[in-house]
Amino acid sequence: MALQRTHSLVLFLLLILLELLLVQPSCGQNHMYQRFLRQHVDPQGTGGNDGYCNLMMQRRKMTLHQCKHFNSFIHEDIWNIRSICSTANIQCKNGKMNCHEGVVKVTDCRETGGSKAPNCRYRAMASTRRVVIACEGNPEVPVHFDR
């Protein structure tokens, strides 16, 4: 009886481990997913002003060696963003068919020009708008902000 319980427990633990492995993005996708989160997701932020962009672009390490000209921060929780990956596939700017669109709250940060890294300066524009993100993996996760 004890041996049967041990086998059942081992089988149960193996099934849980297999499930965890199946729902995790691959190593390369995980790197791209983490980069997407760092560069584009700020669920607690409200954004909307130049100071926000100046701070976030520096804090998220997009001004170290040169000023990134344009970046968008999404102000939604990650599950809302990930749900965009379950919408119909559309064509990305690079021609691939792994993009998806959804409507989210964003702050667009545009470099003002003339500023030098690491003290880059940005203009902010807050809105609720349609975005297009590329998704990869099984399950699909966002890996690139297309537009």
Distance between the two ends of the chain, CA-based, in angstroms? 60
Which pair of tokens denotes residue 54? 């100046």
* Catalytic residue flag (residue 40): yes
82: exposed, middle or buried (C-beta count within 10 Å: 0-12, 13-18, 19+)? middle
- For tokens 């524009």, name the residue: 125
Instruction: Check: CB of residue 77 under 8 Å from CB of residue 43.
Output: yes
* Catalytic residue flag (residue 144): yes
- For tokens 């390490």, name the residue: 61
Instruction: Check: CB of residue 141 under 8 Å from CB of residue 85.
Output: yes
Catalytic-role residue among 7, 31, 40, 65 = 40
Instruction: Check: CB of residue 117 under 8 Å from CB of residue 128.
Output: no
Catalytic residue numbers read 40, 144
